[in-house]
Structures are given as structure tokens and as C-alpha cells.
Amino acid sequence: MYSAMTMPFGDLNPPPRLLMGPGPVDADPRVLRAMAMPLLGQFDPAFTAYMNEAMELYRRVYQTKNKWTFLIDGTARAGIEAILVSLIAPGDRVLVPIFGRFGHLLTEISRRCGADVHTVEAEWGQIVDPDAIEDAARKTRPRLIACVHGDTSTTMAQPLQDIVAIARRHDALVYTDATATLGGMDVAVDRWGVDAISSGLQKCLSGPPGSAPISFNERVAASVNARKHVEQGIRVEGAVEGNGPVIRSNYFDLAMLMEYWGESRLNHHTEATSMLYAARECARIALEEGIAARVARHQTASRAMVAGLQAMGLAVFGDLKHKMPNVTGIVIPAKVDGEWARHSLLHDFGIEIGTSFGPLKGKIWRIGTMGYGCQKRNVLICLNALEAVLRQQGYAAKPGAGVDTALAEYRKTEAA
């Protein structure tokens, strides 16, 4: 046994950081407090009531009446995998519009599910032309169109209404990954007609990574239940199973998870109690603020950030018409060492911003203004620190121009 003198590690004491990257971002303190609540047994009536409350709260966040709106235990990718592995049968044709890293992720997961995957790509910094998606759907006749709503790797957001309309014309289902947009942009599942959707807590919902809210309609539920096979150890007498191919994941089997979250409460796994508390509080806070007000707050921060950066002479990356308000890409100026700048921001100012991936690696920075972190003071602090860091590398910008311009943008909004 270790003594107090020989214990190799001390108490957890994370250094103070202002997380202004593309996620995770700072959690709302109320969410952290919720996670400290006492544990309950997973079939305690108080706990199953919290499960039901979480379902209803996320119906409102997703703006849907879908009965099947619940949590997948795991980070945002767990929600993606649960939907795709449960919906895609081997040989199904899937069409993926790609405009950044996470479109490639949907392609990767779909292929692992045995799908016949077709893609249509746009240059990073642009969205995929709906006409190109229509043409690809006409040629491939997909069963499913899987699309990212907002891709943080490029900071772009793909309009979903066009994709849903295309899918309906070609009798396809639509799944979208809203990890980067739920709680920061309008995500209207029923109004848009999205069939299945997933997200995570760690971005605009202001929680820790570890829970993935999902929602899907009855078309998807029927497809999943056609593949329902209950594991032997929990099968009850008279259980009705589907005649389709077995879903190739036990943990992410939506058919069994529907039984767990539904009225039968058929045991599937031990629910992640503290993460359910966190997810419930994330949704409650978002609805308390109001979805429209929350979206407007993110839009204001985006305008202020963009105006401030441009006043510093910096170029904002990508098609600004389709830029997410939740994250902003900045072209790293010539002769500026992008990684040195990020290091200085982190270690001199305690501010984390992101770089990017693939063709954008080392070419842009990404600054997130998401959820709890989407505050005026954080925008101003970040712009001020970035100016100081750039000045140390010889980049000339009018002193204070970024902060002054961003502050003026906020004051215009506040006066309106």
C-alpha cells in the first residue's frame, strides 16, 4: 500500500483554462453541480423518472414529438454509431455529402456497417451543392443520406432542408450529426423532417463529453425493430423478434435500447447515472434560456468575433454565408508560427484554441464560442490575448482594434 509520503500522484487539480476551441468547451457550473448528486439504482422509481424527464427535455431541445428521444452512454460518436449500426444493414446504399472531417467519419462508420457507400464532396470551406447531392441521389438511389449539420473541422454548416427534400424525392431516410450545432443553432427536427439525429453535450450544450442525446421517428423505429434480436440472458417469454439481420453491436443496439428506455424497462446496461444528471441539466438550462434566445446569443458572438478578427487584419476562413456561429476559422498569417501562437495562448494566457485536420492542418486556427463559453467577456479576452501573441511574432495590427470593434458590435446588438 502507498503511504501519504509515497503516493505517486496528488489530488486532481487541473490548471485553470478558458476553453475556446471547437470543443470540448467549459461546462456550465450548474451541470457540474448536477453531476455531484448522489447515485441511484437504475430501476429506482426516482431514477427512471429522471430518465423520462431527460427524454421530454430533449424532445423540446430537438423541437420534435419523437417518442424515441433518449441518451446513448458515450461521447457524441456513440450516438452516431448507435444510429448507423442499427439502421444500416449490410449492402444498404448510403450517400454521404462530405465537406469536412466528420463527413469522412460518417463514411468510415457506414462502411464498417457493411454499407455500399457513395459520397459527394465539396472543397473544405464550402458546403456541398444541393444540386450535386440531388444528382448523386438520382444515380445511386440510396436508402439513407447521412450528413453532418455543422462540421467543426471547416466551421461550415450544411442546410438540412434541401437534403431532406432531396431524400423525400428519392424515398431515402435522412440521418444528421448535430454534435456541433444542437444548443447553438436552430435544430428543428420535425419542421425540417429529419428522420434520425444525434448530438453530444460537450459543445453548445455546455456539458462534459460522455452522453449523446439522439432522436428518431417511427420510420426509423420500424426499420430498427425489423432487426430486433434480444440477447438470451434478458429475453422474456413471448418476446417478438424481427426477421432482419442482427444489429452488429450489442451496446449500440437501438432495438434493445428502446426496450430499456421504454415502458418495459428491459435491462440492457447500467445507465451512466452522473452523465444522465448532466444531460438532463444541460437541456434544462438550454430551455430555461429559450432556444431562440440561445441561437441569437451565438449569432451575436459570431458577428463580434468576425468583426474583431477582421479589424486586426486577419482573414476569416471559408464561405461566410454558411459559417457556423459557434466556431470561427482564422487563416494563420504568413510568417506566423501557428503552433507557437497556440502554445503561448495556452501557457501565457490560459486560453485554448484549436487547429484543424487534413488539408487545413497548420493553415487555420479555430475559435469556439459555444454554450456557457459564448459570453461577451470571453470573446473580448480571447481577441485581446490573440493580438498580444501575434504582436510578439511581428504581426502588425492596430492596438486594441479587435477588442474595440467586437465591443462595438455587441453594443449595437444590445441597443437594438
The model's pLDDT over 168-196, given as tens digits with 9 standing for 90+, comes to 999 999 999 999 999 999 999 999 999 99
| Overall average pLDDT of the 216-237 stretch | 91
- The alpha carbon torsion through 382, 387, 389, 392 (nearest 10 deg) reads -170
Range name among 66-80, 216-230, 236-250, 281-295 with the lowest pLDDT average: 236-250
The per-residue pLDDT for 275 is 98
Name the band, by pLDDT with cuts 50, 70 and 90, for residue 135.
very high
pLDDT of 19 higher than 90:
yes
The dihedrals phi and psi of 207, each to the nearest 5 degrees, come to -125, 180
Which domains does the chain carry? 29-287 (3.40.640.10), 291-415 (3.90.1150.10)
Name the band, by pLDDT with cuts 50, 70 and 90, for residue 93.
very high
pLDDT of 255 higher than 90:
yes
Q: How far is CA 189 from CA 97, 120, 143, 221, 257, in A?
A: 19, 23, 19, 15, 21
The radius of gyration of the chain from alpha carbons, rounded to an integer in Å, stands at 23
> Could you tell me if residue 350 is left (phi over 0), alpha (psi between -120 and 50 degrees) or otherwise beta?
left
The dihedrals phi and psi of 266, each to the nearest 5 degrees, come to -65, 120
pLDDT of 22 higher than 90:
yes
The per-residue pLDDT for 232 is 84
How many Cβ atoms sit within 10 Å of the Cβ of residue 10?
6
Angle at 120 between CA 110 and CA 171, to 5 degrees: 70
The per-residue pLDDT for 4 is 60
| Overall average pLDDT of the 80-102 stretch | 98
How many Cβ atoms sit within 10 Å of the Cβ of residue 376?
19
The fraction of the chain above a pLDDT of 70, given in percent, is 99
Calpha distance 176→6 (Å, rounded):
51
Q: How far is CA 222 from CA 25, 216, 303, in A?
A: 36, 10, 43
